[in-house]
Amino acid sequence: MNKNTSHIAEMMINGTTMGIIDMTKRLNELDDADAGAKKLAEDYIVNEQQNIENLKKHL
């Protein structure tokens, strides 16, 4: 089991990317969703993208 910082950052980036992909798919499937729910999903995606940028510093 590799516990170095770079490897952990890579695993977290991969997991975060999967979350962004899943949320984007769901957002695109729910055309008639509540505007508040859509905004929450969009905010989630933006925050996760920022997390990835922060994690890149540790690669």
Average pLDDT, integer, range 2-7: 87
Whether the predicted pLDDT of 1 surpasses 80 = no
The single-letter DSSP state of residue 48 is: H
Cβ atoms of residues 53 and 17 within 8 Å: no
> How far apart (Å, rounded) are the C-alpha atoms in residues 55 and 9?
6
Q: State the pTM of this model.
A: 0.86
Q: What is the structure's pLDDT at 32?
A: 86
**HSE-CB for 15 with a 13 A CA cutoff:** 8
Query: 6-36 pLDDT, tens per residue?
Result: 999 999 999 999 999 999 999 999 888 899 9
